[in-house]
Amino acid sequence: MAISFDASKKIFKLDTSDTTYALAVHEAGYLFHLYYGPYLPDNNLLPMLFRGGFASFHPNYPNYVNTPYSPDITPSEYSCNGTGDFRISALQIRNVNGDISTDIRYVSHRILTEKPALCGLPSLRSEAGDTETLEITARDHTTGAVVKLYYTVYLQLPVMTRSVVVENDSQYPMDLERVYSTCLELPGMDYDMVHLYGQWFKERTVTERPLAHGMQSIQSKRGSSSHNHNPFVALKQHGTTEENGPVYGINLIYSGNFAIDIEVDARNTARVLAGINPTDFNWHLEPGESFTSPEAVMVFTDKGVGEMSRIFHRTYMKHLIKSPWRDVERPVLINSWEAAYFDFDDDKLVAFAHEAAKMGVDMLVMDDGWFGVRNLDNCSLGDWYVNEKKLKGGLSKLIERVNAEGLKFGIWYEPEMISPDSDLYRAHPDWCLHVKGRENSPARLQYVLDMSREDVRDNIFNQMSAVLANNKIDYVKWDFNRNLTEAGSALLPANRQKEIMHRFVLGTYDLMNRFVTAFPHILFENCSGGGGRFDPGMLYYSPQIWCSDNTDAIERLTIQFGSSMCYPVSTFGAHVAARPRTPLSTRANVAMCGTFGYELDPRKLTEDEKEQVRAQIADYRKYNKLIREGDLYRLIAPTEDHFRCAWQFVSPDKQEALVTSVIMRRPETAYFMLKLRGLDPNKMYTDTATGEVYSGALLMYAGINLTEQIYDDGESIVKYFKAE
């Protein structure tokens, strides 16, 4: 079994394919963390608990004065507030008396072969026989809170997940003020914290800094996971590289306010918490009610940051992204936004389709501006009926004309938003998020609908379904173009107003689930001003997300490299745009590291450019399976080299490799040897462009000579190697 319990030592041991996670139960019922790292055959792990002597300032466990442990310095499995552990806490409950002291003790456990679903939340799936789950039930005997800790281990991957359910098993109400999904204790502080920061147009830049004594944290309180920080952190031991050394990765399957907090104490140990941001959060539990936390995904490897990323990629491809889109080639689409913005009609769109079809494009996507009376971004969100003054023959007629050109049809929505200048707002002004007595602060001239309300979700679902069910639509781009302010709900009582941020996310998940269930044939692409909600929660419902509104190829290198830290490239919405800073070939080579499509007016391309597009689409079809299913190796990161960026895909059987190198700015010298990775050193690989044959060993240890093949700003090259 992957999960075992030694009843004599009271030790739980959880083994994945390559890792071990261990925890113990104290004689008084406290839960202690023992170990997380490379696989251990041992079960004698209790000596790892002792962290040195303690003074009166470190409280003893009640009634256990002779125990060598104090809650203030002992590695806790799920830390609680106010009962002797002064470090950051994972759980804080305010009981009916108003105090916030929380203390949970072990009651029982179960080892499950089935992975329980999380109520109302996305989570990793399991397939028959590939997971085991440990459910530990603990109880706070003062408040009556029952806390269930869930640990799922994947047998074929070095991956485990964690989540928490809190139930009110008392006669009185209680309030959850903090309920993190995971608590991890790491001995030592010799780690670098790696995370992804940014803003609109500059998302997910990789940054790192050494852990320091005290607090370090990333978080969002914007109502979404946000452009600014991604719900992902890696902790790599000092000296760990892309391909060597130990690293822990944590990613939260959640699309709202999150926090990943790390505290390093005076004994040089690090406590890591990941979960819902406790700022602006409270959850009221009446007797019999329960609360479920989002799921945290945890990865450990001693093979470097690159292998950590590849483990996340394999995990999400197999266990997060849903069929049928997980394993199939995505359509090459052309989006109307950068080609026309709001200035289009049915004839212009058909003209786009006509030219795009000649080049091999599969789908035309009609972006913002087709509904209500929307000709600018100042009105009509929430009025999801067709503007027949703009689409003079109606939507069905337009789709017929586009289909007649040989293209499928896609459409844009922003379901969670409402314009003050809209029929929906005039009819239901209370349907937007608002706080009584305060003026709403608009952003992009729009407000946010209260997605916690079932009547609001029903209205949006019915409006959109009327369009989707009665028209031949194959793709929906789901946008979200602002963050949440004045986050209050007209339906919630005063003691539940701080639940609104989480209820908003749950409502969005519910609406998305209704759509993907009702329209399983439609390919949904998520978007939030580009990559403002690029997280695993969204990927559960949509297999791809528009990576960034920034479509400049050089800028996209940093954005896409950062995204690849934990997300597969098949999820990156990436297009070739009319950005003249780089050649058309480079724009395509960069977009190939993603879903691939076009964001331009095809009528404005020259004949030579159209021929290039035909060749690019042919290459996309040729390499798509390799890119989608292959292992990604980040060869030269754009944040580490001032001149070049390079990456590589290797097929699982190591028979194929696709290598791309881009010149970001002209280097000082033309001399350039690029060392590949992930090949079989004993295989012989043919460079299909030149016919030259090299061993995998030569390509990895000596490299391929690219001197003077690419040298000027914006140039790029792609090399395809096939084993003999």
Catalytic residues: 479, 549
Give the start-end residues of each E strand in 429-502.
447-448, 475-478
User: Three-class SS of residue 106?
Assistant: strand
Structure tokens at 261: 């907090």
How are beta strands 174-186 and 91-94 bridged, if at all?
Answer: antiparallel
Question: Which residue is associated with the tokens 């590949």?
Answer: 676
**Which of 523, 517, 495 lies closest to 362 in space, CA to CA?**
523
List 296's β-bridge partners, or say none: 162, 252
Task: Identify how many contiguous H helices and E strands the chain contains and give both numbers.
Answer: 12, 39
Tokens of 439: 């003026």
> 611 CB contacts (<8 Å, ≥6 apart)?
none
Q: Report residue 529: phi and psi, to 5°.
A: 50, 40
Dist CA 133 CA 114 (whole Å): 7
Entry field: residues in the chain: 724
- CA gap 373, 391 in Å, rounded: 11
Q: Which amino acid is at 87?
A: R
Q: What would the two tokens of residue 660 be?
A: 């791309």
18 within 8 A of 147, measured Cβ to Cβ = no
For residues 619 and 509, what is the distance between their CA atoms, to the nearest angstrom?
36
Structure tokens at 290: 């329960």
661 vs 551, 692, 696, CA distance in Å? 18, 19, 18
Residue closest to 196 by CA, chosen among 89, 277, 305, 320: 305
The residue among 309, 463, 476, 343 whose CA lies nearest residue 409 is 476
Gyration radius of the chain's alpha carbons: 27
Percent of the chain as helix, strand, coil, to the nearest 5: 20, 30, 45
d(CA 714, CA 716): 7
